[in-house]
Amino acid sequence: MRRIGKSFGLAILAASSVCLLGSGGARAESKVFEYTVEHPTYGDIGTYTNVVQEHGATTDVRTEVHIQVKMLGVEVFHQEANRKEHWEDGRLVSFQSATDDNGKNIQIDGQAHGNDFVINTPAGTINAPGRIHPSNPWAASILTTDTMMSTKSGKIIPVVVKDTGDVNITFDKKKMTLHQFFIESDKHEIVWVDGKGTVVAFQTQENGSQVNFVLKNSGTASNDSAEIQPIAKN
């Protein structure tokens, strides 16, 4: 197996057709990737959507998370999140996240400063290495790092990413051959990528359960820009 990313020049969890304005004020087309969140006990529990806009060396990514778990028709857990990433020349320049984690509101803001990436969290300010990547697998290139940031809490996570090659795997009764990457940190996560570089599925561990995020819809959209807004308490 080949290790990825001890140098360079994600734990997981992340739908709207929101798109940023392009250069000159013109509307720009974005790629939209909507995933279904599949829990082994509770079934389909929500959606996780990445909207990606690229302009040369600049990339903007917006993420929306909508998760709700019910038992006997009664909600026992919910998570809502809005996130924004801005990249320049392969480096994360800014990050914003607003998460309602079952009623707990978490605001994260990060900015590149020199060789560091400074993250403001409810627990305080963290100085992270400039090579840090968010734990949001919107592209295979996100895996080329040894340091990730939790998109929910802002926590710094040392990781080892292992390329385990092509595997035959089935999602929603569909058999496919995908390239598989293991992400080892304080938990075991997996990302599956197709031959075009699209992240078809990824898996994370939550409270001992393996939760899958499986691509259901992808396409393009063009809309006006909007700022990330804090999520109001219910």
For 95-152, how does the pLDDT look when each residue is reduced to its tens digit (9 = 90+)?
999 999 999 999 999 999 999 999 999 999 999 999 999 999 999 999 999 999 999 9
Residue-range domain boundaries for the chain: 2-217
pLDDT digit string, tens, across residues 188-201: 999 999 999 999 99
| Structure tokens belonging to residue 156 | 């710094």
Secondary structure percentages of the chain, helix, strand, coil, to 5? 5, 65, 35
User: What local confidence, expressed as pLDDT, does residue 27 receive?
Assistant: 53
**Gap between the Cα atoms of 31 and 51, Å rounded:** 6
Judge whether residue 23 has pLDDT over 80.
no
C-beta separation of 150 from 136 below 8 A: no
**Gap between the Cα atoms of 131 and 195, Å rounded:** 26
Strand-pairing partners, residue 59, are: 54, 87
Intra-chain end-to-end CA distance of the chain, in Å: 47
Residues 6+ away with beta carbon under 8 Å from 213: 12, 35, 36, 37, 38, 48, 201, 202, 203, 204
**Nearest C-alpha neighbor of 101 from the set 57, 154, 60:** 154
Q: What backbone phi and psi angles, to 5 degrees, belong to 173?
A: 70, 15
Over residues 207-226, mean pLDDT: 82
**Nearest C-alpha neighbor of 50 from the set 203, 217, 224:** 217
C-beta separation of 35 from 213 below 8 A: yes
Cα angle value 121/124/155 (rounded, 5°): 55
3-state SS class at 221: strand
Predicted TM-score of the model (pTM): 0.83
**Gap between the Cα atoms of 148 and 85, Å rounded:** 13
3-state SS class at 143: helix
| Structure tokens belonging to residue 92 | 């994360």
What is each CA distance from 52 to 45, 71, 88, 98, 190, in whole angstroms?
23, 34, 13, 18, 21
Over residues 170-198, mean pLDDT: 95
**Nearest C-alpha neighbor of 220 from the set 28, 21, 23, 22:** 28
* Amino acid identity at 69: V
Judge whether residue 82 has pLDDT over 80.
yes
* Amino acid identity at 225: S
